[in-house]
Structure 1
Amino acid sequence: MSLPADFLSAVRALIPAQRLFDDPLSTLAFGTDASFYRLIPKLVVRVEAEGEVVTLLQLASRFQVPVTFRAAGTSLSGQALSDSVLIVLGDHWNGRQILDGGARIRLQPGVIGAAANAALAPLQRKIGPDPASINAAKIGGIVANNSSGMCCGTAQNSYHTLAGMRLVLADGSVLDTEDPTSVAAFRRSHGDMLKRLAELGRQTRADTALAARIRHKYRLKNTTGLSLNALVDFDEPLDILTHLMVGSEGTLGFISSVTYDTVPDHPHKASALLVFPDVETCCRAVPVLKQQPVSAVELLDRRSLRSVQDMQGMPAWVRELSASACALLVESRAASATLLEEQILQVMAAVEAFPRERQVEFSTDPVVYNQLWRIRKDTFPAVGAVRATGTTVIIEDVTFPVEVLAEGVNRLLALFDRHGYAEAIIFGHALEGNLHFVFTQGFDDPAQVARYEAFMGDVAQLVAVEFGGALKAEHGTGRNMAPFVELEWGADAYGLMWQIKRLLDPAGILNPDVILSDDPKIHLKNLKPLPAADPIVDKCIECGFCEPVCPSNGLTLTPRQRIVIWRDIQAKKRAGVDTRELERAYQYQGIDSCAATGLCAQRCPVGINTGDLVRQLRADQASHGARADWLAGHFAAALQGTRLMLATANTARRLLGAPRLERLSRSARQLSGGRLPQWTPALPQPVKWVQAGSPGSADRPKVVYLPACVSRVMGPAAGSGEQQSLFDKTRGLLEKAGFEVLFPDGLDELCCGQPFASKGYPQQGESKRNELLAALLQASDQGRHPVYCDTSPCTLRLLQGEPDGRLQLYDPVRFIREHLLERLEFQPLDTPVAVHVTCSTQHLGEADALLAIARRCSTQVVVPEGIHCCGFAGDKGFTLPQLNSHALRTLKGAVGVCEQGVSTSRTCEIGLSNHSGIDYQGLVYLVDRVTRRRPAEH
């Protein structure tokens, strides 16, 4: 059924067209969250202000149109989907305010959880919830799902750390509990509702059996159903209302801001891995550990350990553990190193009596610590990575009372065997009796769906009925567990939930069939297909962890959405459906606008680089092979042609003036249909290219300097305060540090091949890369001398694909870190410096080192939040400037206090300078500015 015409007309009058999406590609892209369900919305609305939400809800109420809210879409139970209207958060929901010296923090729903913690970190505070998705999940979803995590338990979740809330109800009314005027107005306008909530609270507390059941259920981790504990924990109706909103999954209203009481973030931490001979021994140790000073205790059964035992870096003994082994990963945190040592001794003494098969002693060494946690964190993606193509990976989370945890684990293992889930693993937050179990499931035939239905029915009986546990501990009820809420809670509690729902949402427009549903089969409907698309991306579990680092997120598609659409295109083709219209839309949305820098792979649990798929698709479309061959064979001529174009543009700037040239360039680009590049004041001048090595000396160490092709062509912009080229500046710095600088022969013909590979010409790219590697090997005397490349993307390109092991290849950060710091004296500036960590620097693992070097150069280093990739992507800043401007849309406000910026990629610096209002230069400019050669020691 289509949406009412009058509703659509009113929405279009309210929301600009560029924030409304009803085309097949966009609605399909938004029809997926991290769950195994798919619902295609009829309309997607990107909202940027609370007033828009208010009016949308008023319209939805008037026209009886169901709406669903979405923050990051990392939900695992199908609660962020709609086949009606999906309301998603835009850019302007990112406000945060630290209060009372960090004791509280007020956050809008679009703030990513990790960003909230980053803001609190200097005060050694953090928010209580710590879901595994914290680097992607947004506050709106964290509160609406009452998400928790490994350390948060029940005491530090959103419900228990809530200090205030601003919310919008289904009728469009607004309540801000921290604003007395708003509270007074709400009491007048919604007095009957508040009276009814107060009465429900009194009735519930008076029903001793029901009240006792509620208290028991929330002694455990529990997100099944609505937060009925609000009715027994509070008697003030406003407190009842705000705490009902926590965990309501968008079924009771919209949360437009929340204030948290923060919790300590102790800087000292240590972890140990204790392996017990069997499940029973392992689980008997948990109640003992619960009484000790531990912040996390993670259970891993033998199957989960087996799933990661062959991964690189895993201890060899993991393979040798017995078939019945079960482990606990234990973490302790403290405010001081001394206190941490005392806690470790106390913890180990407490478990001394329990036999252990193996163990890794408590360690504060980050290498050991991170390795142990990698064992835990890699279990889920390990199952996802080995699943059969076309199946989905499902992660469920249940809670058993801790006193029966061992029996619960063994009974779950028996259910896996009974229903044929041999690959299933169990891990979880043992202190709370919270177990995650992961298994793979196909939904492409009725027998598979029936197997899943039978299995979930047995799980529900086991957990909710036999053990009195929770079917959802922290992932939210969604539509996945909606049919089982009454089974778990009983008819009286279930009826109470429906009373609350009808009181706050009488028309039933808010996220129908989520948490509460009249359909006992809702969990078996709208199951998401995961058809084969390409081996590069077939392991994608559509979790959305990749989205925050993607520069095209919010402009076109995210990596997750690119995969969703490509899967659908391939499935439709196999079914004989005409996909030409969808593919036409995908060309720009999915292929042309992808930066292909691969940051998504760093966030992906199964390591998928969506850029690899895009480059492959570009290669499939590439039709100028002869031109690519010519350019590869005449590279020096191509570089000289680029210098001439830059010189021409520079002459036009001098004749016409920068403002007029920029206007003319914009008009010409529009008239050409986007084929002509956009001129900006940050466009480089041509380099006056003169190659000359250092005077030879037997006493000085040698370094082969590889200036990237952009460094040989692009000099500083005309308006830059520094007019020396990167090439000259780098050579001067290396010589200052005492190096003799060498160059490979035939330098102007050499290229790493990146421009060819990114355009879909991998053969030409690989040929140029091999040619360059051979020249570097010769110039370095078969690897005797290090090779310094002045641009991090080129270094990354050369290091990929197993280059000759004799070569010592360095990007600027690593070379400065390993060879220049000891040769130079630093006099840091006391002025703010902005640092952009390029995608390639992140891939090279040098991000922290770059920041450390910058902090040697300046006492005030600024790293703009939320800018992970600049979107310039080689030449896309010229050919697709909207990608660069979108990726850097928040940069100017973030670096306004800075005098200069630094990076390690000349092309990135063009876009950064253009959109920041300050001059971005290579890192060597800053290092050269603040250093002098260290005097020789005698």
Structure 2
Amino acid sequence: MSALIQHLRQHLPDHQIIVDDLRRLAYGTDASFYRLIPQVITLIESENDVRTVLTAGRLHATPVTFRAAGTSLSGQAISSGILALIGEGFTGCEISADAGKVKVGPGIVGGEVNRRLAPLGKKIGPDPASIGAAKIGGIAANNASGMCCGTAQNSYRTLAGLRVVLADGSVLDTEDPLSVNAFSQSHAVLLGELERLGSDTRNNPKLAERIRHKFKIKNTTGYSLNALVDYEDPIDILSHLMIGSEGTLGFISSITYLTVVEDPCKASALVFFPDIRTACEAVIRLKPQPVAAVELLDRPALHSVENKPGLPAVMRELGEDAAALLIEVRAATVDALQEKISAVHTAIAGVATVEPMVFSTDPATCEMYWKVRKGTFPSVGAMRRTGTTVLIEDVAFPIESLADATLDLQGLLRQHGYHEAIIFGHALEGNLHFVFTQDFGDPAEVDRYARFMDDVCQLVVGKYDGSLKAEHGTGRNMAPFVELEWGKDAAELMRRIKNLFDPENLLNPGVIINDDPQAHLANLKPMPAAEDIVDRCIECGFCEPLCPSHRLTLSPRQRIVSVRELARREAQGLPAGSIGEDYAYMGLDTCAGCGLCSTACPVGIDTGDLTRRLRGRKMGETARTVNAWTGEHFGALASASRLGLKVGHAVSGVLGDNFLARISGGAWKKDMPHAGKAPVARQTQGDPVVYFPTCGGRIFGPADSGEKQLGDVIIELLERAGYRAILPAGFDNLCCGQMLASKGMAEEADAMANRLEAALMQASENGKYPVIMDASACSARMYKHLAGKLKLYDFHEFAHDALLPRLLITRQPGPVALHVNCSVKRTGAEAKLRTLLKACVEEVIEPAGVTCCGFGGDRGFAVPELNQHALRHIHTELPANCACGVSTNRTCEIGLTAETGLSYRSVAYLLEACSRKEGSMTC
């Protein structure tokens, strides 16, 4: 054990120190195309932890890099020293009484801050495309902007105050007069130097004007030198230098933003132009107009998405020189919105368009337009050749040069053979992104990339005096070119700033300031072919906030990183080592397989599919034989499971739930359900509907032995609404196969699904009658398996569509907790579930801190820590007077009940209680 790790273990708990090969690789990977493996990873939860890590780095001459979400693209969030991951101790969020300010920790996701501000009509100014995954620490440290933010609402412009830990461990809170006073005394030399730098810069007309000129457009190349000309107070200079410093000057432990208005009324128009120059002429006319966003897409960008369903047919008919603008206007009222739309029409009157500009206020249409824009980057990533990397570069030009610059950039891409490249960007700011694919495994290809980047620098800086990094941060990618863009005097000023804050070069060395002219070509990330399911992954990290195992073991991105490394080792004849050994638990056992990652993934990858494939390969012959037998004799398995539950309850009645949970490794739960029973069909009159009671409800009955079985409740509801339930023949011996599919036994699982399909077809008279299933995971599987052969409903969908109109509902006051499970989210059926619940209950609580419950079929029994980790935030979001909880999947309800102590049941129970004639409404 190294002296560094020994030191850390003396001051931090073991679970905050990560030294195993698997997680150092997986956690150490960010969204950029660079890779460094840290010596050690620390999870920091407090400022004391930060100081501990800084002290360890200083004593052992080891650099420290702070990491938030790792969605950054320029290599600023990786390290070969200590990588300090920002933990949940830094996820605070305090909104001022008037919502004019919000104080947030660096560990909270930007989208979550906006979710909390939304009811107050506010949001934070920065709006990067990654805001659903990017954390505030990275947003501030990179001065990230976005599509509507521009240069007026970024972190620099909306900064109200911050708290920062410097390299020497000292803390400054710029909003606390006592802290400012103490810091002014203890760090008088630092503040005096900053004051002098500011004064000297402002008194140097040439340099001051250079700085002001550079920040008229988006610019994140180098440090925020505008702090030296915008402010005179050294505290203000220091705080604004921290913005965009990429962790090289200090650690921002909290930041207070001035919030901005989130207008409720919005309209968007997707406008096509015959060529780039005409589109850019329109942009120049729109610059002074009251528009929220103007996004430019060149013809290759439009080609990349034109065949997606629902997009305008004209996109496929455009000429090869065509371009498009996506224009959005926002306002507080409908009338004000119409005024802005009229202003836009007036501004571009006379500019040639392929067809007349039409604004839409329909949310679905506007969302479709924005999918065009947001889908361009991932579309290139999805189509790239296996083994190559998708790169997105980020430059800005003076808006008056945008047309010429775009055409020059297109020419440069063609010149260097990047024929698949696309260009899009935030046109109002002259900010262009260009996306292309690159093979970093071939030295000749690396050389091509090097020549291309040199030419890009000469084009952007030499010809147009633009920004080499407009909003993605300098990182390692552009560090060698900072002086080229800024000039010698400004670059020297940046070096003085770095040395002033970090004389030992401890904080994120090699980022922003880097004297190696080849630094952007070093430490390139390998992207070997691994599995066709995930080879399209661009390692952006958008999946991570939704994953129930993230920060317990691995996230989807980290699983893919690990599998790629194992594939690389196998291809080179190298042993898998401890990475292969540890992946069994961290990669396979603790993956819920919920598929929520696919809903956030830009290219739609479901990492659960990878897990299921690898589980199948790993399974031994004995286990495969046993599982195959249970699939063919499912009735016997169901009976054995019920017997097990009866025995378990008998034992727990004597020894208690806690004892049984302990000896079963957590598989036995508090309030464990009693053994279920198969429902019995009744001879009644009514409209025929086929009801298949899924195995979860048949095996796991209610937690209270005196309650009705789920199947009986649903049959009673159907009859109450005038339907006659038809149960498929032999249904208690049938299963959709989900249990085997989750283990990677796809063929055996499909055989089970085929048997169920045959029974459903027979019962429904070949699709004549609708079919209902009472577990969302099973419904989702059979939706895909049946592929439209019959009309299949998850219970809550049928209840919404067919039962609500026929039932007399007496609403309960609530509050009732709702868990929208991952299957409902993946199938897009959550709106109907929420509507159904609101029809029954006046107050519904839907904990935002919970995505997937982590039960994952049988995962909650096999690895209960996954269920516990996934639900760790639910306790603080459930009010003490919450009556009960509802969901649509029996195993999810078991896990939710065990972790919260609140009774979670199928939404069918609530609907039945609210529709009783006698009005007795027990939850």
In the alignment, which residue of structure 2 is the partner of 1:683? 672
2:249 is aligned with 1:252: yes
- Does the C-alpha gap of structure 1 residues 371 and 665 become closer, same or farther in structure 2, counting only changes over 3 Å? closer
CA deviation string 1:197-228 (max 9, x = no partner): 11111111111111111111111011000000
Return the alpha-carbon distance in structure 2 between the equivalents of residues 138 and 62 of structure 1: 30
1:908 alignment partner, one of 885, 892, 897: 892
After TM superposition, the runs of 4+ consecutive aligned structure 1 residues lying more than 4 A away are 932-935
Counterpart mapping for 1:58-207 below 5 A: 58-207=55-204
Give the counterpart letter for 2:125 in structure 1: G
| 1:712 equivalent in alignment to 2:695 | no
Q: Distance in 1 between matches of 2:787 and 2:210?
A: 67
**1:879-898 deviation line (CA, Å, top 9, x unaligned):** 11011111111111221432
Distance in 1 of aligned mates of 2:454 and 2:112: 39
Residue 804 (structure 1) shift: 5.3
Deviations 1:449-477 (A, max 9, x none): 11101101111111122111101011000
Q: Does 1:874 align with 2:873?
A: no
Instruction: Name the CA distance, whole Å, in 1 between partners of 2:624 and 2:222.
Output: 59
RMSD, aligned CA: 1.6
Matched with 1:726 is 710
C-alpha distance in 2 between matches for 1:618 and 1:640: 26
8 Å contact kept, 1:796–1:840: yes
**Once the 2 structures are TM-superposed, how far is the Cα of residue 701 of structure 1 from its aligned partner?**
1.9
**Given that residues 396 and 438 in structure 1 are in contact (C-alpha distance below 8 angstroms), is that contact kept between their aligned partners in structure 2?**
yes
- Aligned letter for 1:678? A
Following TM superposition, by how much is the alpha carbon of 1:4 offset from its aligned partner in structure 2, in angstroms? 6.1
Percent of aligned pairs with the same residue? 52
1:835 to 2:834 alignment: no
The whole-number CA distance in structure 2 between the counterparts of 1:406 and 1:690 is 70
Aligned to 1:581: 578
Q: Over residues 34-63 of structure 1, what are the superposed CA-to-partner deviations in whole Å (9 max), with x where a residue is unaligned?
A: 000000000000111111102221332333
Q: Partner of 1:598 in structure 2?
A: 595
Per-residue CA deviation, residues 285-328 of structure 1 (Å, 9 max, x unaligned), is 11211222211100000010011112222222211101110110
Whether contact under 8 Å (1:823, 1:934) holds in the other structure is no
Tell me, yes or no, if the aligned pair for 2:265 and 2:333 is still in contact at 8 Å: yes
Equivalent position amino acid for 2:286 in 1: L
What is the one-letter code of the residue matched to 2:680? Q
User: Which residue matches 1:883?
Assistant: 866
Partner of 2:807: 824
Distance apart, 1:860 and its partner CA:
2.2
Q: Take 1:103 and 1:903, find their aligned partners in 2: how far apart are those partners?
A: 37
Structure 2 gaps of 5+ residues are: none
Q: Give CA-to-partner distance per residue, 1:534-563, whole Å, 9 cap, x none.
A: 111111111111111111111111111111
Question: How big is the shift at 1:140?
Answer: 0.4
Q: Which residue of 2 aligns with 1:782?
A: 766
Which shifted more, 790-799 or 22-31? 22-31
For the 8 Å contact 2:121–2:262, the answer to whether it is kept is yes
Aligned partner of 1:755 in structure 2 is 739
Alignment partners' CA distance in 2, 1:789 and 1:579: 43
Shift of 1:742: 1.3
- TM-score, length-normalised on structure 2? 0.97
SS in 2 for 1:810: strand
Return closer, same or farther for 1:63/1:581 CA change in 2, 3 Å cut-off: closer
Whole-angstrom CA distance in 2 between matches of 1:628 and 1:173: 59
Match of residue 388, structure 1, among 385, 390, 410: 385
1:795 to 773, 779, 784: 779
1:893-933 per-residue CA deviation (whole Å, 9 max, x = no partner) reads 22143221111101001111111121111111222222357
Provide the C-alpha distance between the structure 1 equivalents of 2:83 and 2:553, rounded to a whole number of angstroms.
17
Aligned partners of 1:685 and 1:717 also within 8 Å: yes
Q: Is the 8 A contact 1:550 1:558 kept in 2?
A: yes
CA deviation string 1:714-767 (max 9, x = no partner): 11114x9x8222222222222222211111111111110100111122111101
Alpha-carbon distance in structure 2 between the residues aligned to 1:210 and 1:858: 64
Distance 1:104 1:182, change over 3 A: same
Shift of 1:690: 4.0
- Structure 2: distance between partners of 1:360 and 1:643: 64
3-state secondary structure, aligned to 1:158:
coil
Structure 1: stretches of 5+ with no match in the other structure: none
For residues 629-644 of structure 1, what are the structure 2 equivalents within 5 Å? 629-644=628-643
What SS does the aligned partner of 1:159 have?
coil
Paired with 2:904 and 2:314, the residues of 1 have a C-alpha distance of 49
Q: Distance in 2 between matches of 1:112 and 1:42?
A: 27
TM-score (ref. length: structure 1): 0.96
Contact 1:620 1:760 in 2 (8 A): yes
Name the CA distance, whole Å, in 1 between partners of 2:252 and 2:564: 34
Q: Is the 8 A contact 1:308 1:378 kept in 2?
A: yes
Structural mapping, 1:286-685, within 5 Å? 286-358=283-355, 361-622=358-619, 623=621, 624-658=623-657, 662-666=658-662, 668-669=663-664, 678-685=667-674
- Is the contact made by 1:736 and 1:933 (CA closer than 8 Å) also made in structure 2? no
Residue in 2 aligned with 1:740?
A: 724
Letter in 1 for 2:56: L
**Does structure 2 retain, via aligned residues, the 8 Å contact 1:482–1:517?**
yes
Return the offset for 1:831.
2.5
Give the count of matched residue pairs.
Answer: 916
- Cα deviations by residue, 1:217-276 (Å, 9 ceiling, x for unpaired): 111011000000001111111111010000000000001111100000011111101111
Q: Distance in 1 between matches of 2:356 and 2:58?
A: 59
- Pick from 863, 874, 881: which aligns with 2:846? 863
CA contact (8 A) 1:442 1:448 kept: yes
Supply the AA of the counterpart residue of 1:732: E
Look up the SS of the partner of 1:333 in the other structure: strand
* Closer, same or farther: CA 933–287 of 1 in aligned 2, 3 Å: farther
In structure 1, distance between residues paired with 2:92 and 2:842? 27
CA contact (8 A) 1:682 1:911 kept: no
Confirm or deny: 8 A CA contact 1:30 1:41 kept in the other structure.
no
Task: Answer yes or no: is the 8 Å Cα contact 2:688–2:724 preserved in 1.
Answer: yes
- Which residue identity lines up with residue 687 of structure 2 in the other structure? P
- Residues 22, 578 of structure 2: 8 Å contact kept: no
Q: Deviations over 1:679-738 (max 9, x none)?
A: 122311012434123x332xx3222111110111111114x9x82222222222222222
2:684 aligned with 1:696: yes
Equivalent AA in structure 2 for residue 754 of structure 1: Q
Alpha-carbon displacement from aligned partner over 1:793-843 (angstroms, at most 9, x marks no partner):
000000114x15341101123112211221223333223221111010001
Write the distance in 1 (CA, Å) between the matches of 2:918 and 2:521.
Answer: 70
Q: Which moves more between the two structures, 181-190 or 424-433?
A: 181-190
Q: Is the 8 A contact 1:825 1:934 kept in 2?
A: no
- Residue 55, structure 1, aligned to residue 44, structure 2: no
Task: Tell which deviates more after alignment, 97-106 or 896-905.
Answer: 896-905
Q: Which amino acid aligns with 2:852?
A: C
| Residue 29 (1) aligns with residue 15 (2) | no
* 359 and 631 in structure 1: CA distance in 2 versus 1, 3 angstrom threshold: farther
1:192 Cα offset (Å): 1.2
Distance 1:849 1:245 in 2: 46
Structure 1 CA distance for aligned equivalents of residues 174 and 834 of structure 2: 41
Contact 1:129–1:158 at 8 Å: present in 2 too? yes
Once residues 745 and 223 of structure 1 are traced to their aligned partners in structure 2, the CA distance between those partners, rounded to angstroms, is 67
Residues 1:243 and 2:240 are matched in the alignment: yes
CA distance in 2: counterparts of 1:319 and 1:497, whole angstroms: 48
SS in 2 for 1:76: coil
The answer to whether the 8 A contact 1:110-1:138 is kept is yes
Distance 2:223 2:914 in 1: 59
CA spacing shift, 1:933–1:134, aligned 2, 3 Å: farther
